[in-house]
Chains A and B, each alone.
Chain A
């Protein structure tokens, strides 16, 4: 097999939030184990297009480089995924990079994902700590649900599931799978469970779990393999019970 010399990247760029998108192509020298973030770093060092034009370096976001932080989520060859763990060897070339347009684009591949933080606030994605316990005396996690809680806690709000979900976008007010399923994580918590009715009522509001249309794209694209559809169904069960309580307990 002939040694591959360069890898072609076709990048959808945008100079500002309200600017028109355009594409530019770059060649990056191939090396074994090259991933998309490393390739973007090479482009940053020498931002020259295939036509030999020197351009402004491509802007993108990354932090941990080990699929834990979620920052480098972008659309690679049409699919929402983490750039840091997208190996060039496993991608069809030329490699197309686009920003995840479910979110507002700030510049090039950099997006504003703060809407997910707002959604986490909406579903009360935290545990109220009242400080009455010494650490050793605090109630323990239920050992039977700890595995599930651990799995959901892997969520890094990267936004892959929101990008893939047909019901998330400017046409809809759905908060998306990731923030919705976080409600279940905190409902499982030995202290968080006391606020479960609050979270379930928040999920019943406009844009909550009722906006889920069961396309199940979320579970297919989740880079952390969280069984999102299973927990969405569980939450559906829980909000239905909560609705019955709301109706019949007063």
Chain B
């Protein structure tokens, strides 16, 4: 008997932590170059342009698009199986459980907008290269966009960091309450650090 549900759930967990975790870190790393101003960010974007176009596109499809679509679509199915109840059972982990699903819904909408506007429309259809100047005018021209992007990053960072904790439970890595607690605290600390970095590089567009 082939346990489809089991393998899909485990794949969902792996893809989220490894593939999409890497995408998140790449975004934080490249975007934090904005702290060094236009030369730094444009320089690191130019570095990525050095990768031959077909290989870059394959990486985008296999490393981002397919994992993201799978994680999102199967994630909707998982989220619909939960009847979030932190109002009745207000324990920290239950709040994190509900937040994991609420951030997922927000990210679903945010990522459709983000990918369609910046990657498919701006870069793909109009052929405008992504640059420091483009992002700066986009964010400072529409502060609400900057706010939504910061919220999108916060949601993604929380979803990823809480995902580390649940990954360790789902894969049976952290068994007892002590180690589960330690991992939960460490991943929430990572969440705070990554959120601060996001605030810093997003804020730099407005002060420079």
**Which residues of A line the B interface, CB within 8 A?**
78-79, 164, 166-167, 169, 171-172, 174, 201, 204-208, 210-217, 219-221, 227, 229-230, 232-240, 243, 246
Q: Give the nearest-CB partner of A234 in chain B.
A: B175
**Which residues of B line the A interface, CB within 8 A?**
1, 3-7, 9-10, 78, 80-85, 88-89, 91, 93-94, 97-98, 165-166, 169-177, 180
Among B89, B173, B174, B176, the residue within 8 A (CB) of A221 is B89
How far is B82's CA from A121's CA once the two chains are assembled, in angstroms? 24
Q: Which residues of chain A have C-beta atoms less than 8 A from B82's C-beta?
A: 166-167, 171-172, 213
Among B10, B81, B94, B170, the residue within 8 A (CB) of A216 is B94
Q: Which residues of chain A have C-beta atoms less than 8 A from B5's C-beta?
A: 204-208, 210
Q: List 27 A-B contacts (CB under 8 A).
A: A79-B88, A164-B85, A164-B89, A166-B84, A171-B83, A172-B81, A174-B81, A201-B3, A205-B3, A208-B5, A208-B6, A210-B5, A214-B93, A214-B169, A214-B170, A220-B89, A229-B169, A230-B175, A232-B169, A233-B175, A233-B176, A233-B180, A234-B175, A235-B172, A236-B172, A240-B10, A246-B3
Q: Which residues of chain B have C-beta atoms less than 8 A from A237's C-beta?
A: 171-173, 175
How far is B2's CA from A79's CA once the two chains are assembled, in angstroms? 38
Contact indicator B172/A220 (Cβ below 8 Å): no
Contact indicator B88/A230 (Cβ below 8 Å): no
Instruction: Report the 9 A-B pairs with minimum CB-CB distance, sorted nearest first.
Output: A237-B172, A215-B97, A236-B172, A172-B81, A204-B3, A210-B9, A204-B6, A216-B93, A233-B175
Q: Which residues of chain B have C-beta atoms less than 8 A from A166's C-beta?
A: 82-85, 94, 97-98
Q: A164-B85, A206-B5 are in contact. List 18 more A-B contacts (CB 8 A).
A: A79-B88, A79-B89, A166-B83, A172-B81, A204-B3, A208-B5, A210-B9, A211-B81, A213-B78, A213-B97, A213-B166, A214-B97, A214-B170, A216-B97, A217-B93, A220-B89, A229-B180, A233-B175
B18 to chain A, nearest CB (A): 16
- A211-B81, A240-B171 known; A230-B6 Cβ under 8 A: no
How far is B165's CA from A79's CA once the two chains are assembled, in angstroms? 26
Q: Which residues of chain B have C-beta atoms less than 8 A from A79's C-beta?
A: 88-89
Q: Give the nearest-CB partner of A206 in chain B.
A: B5
Q: Give the nearest-CB partner of B176 in chain A.
A: A230
How far is B175's CA from A169's CA once the two chains are assembled, in angstroms? 26
Contact indicator A236/B171 (Cβ below 8 Å): yes
Q: Which residues of chain A have C-beta atoms less than 8 A from B169's C-beta?
A: 214, 229, 232-233, 236
How far is B94's CA from A213's CA once the two chains are assembled, in angstroms? 10
Contact indicator A214/B84 (Cβ below 8 Å): no
- A221-B89, A239-B6 known; A233-B84 Cβ under 8 A: no
A212 to chain B, nearest CB (A): 8
Q: Give the nearest-CB partner of A174 in chain B.
A: B81
Among B1, B81, B174, the residue within 8 A (CB) of A201 is B1
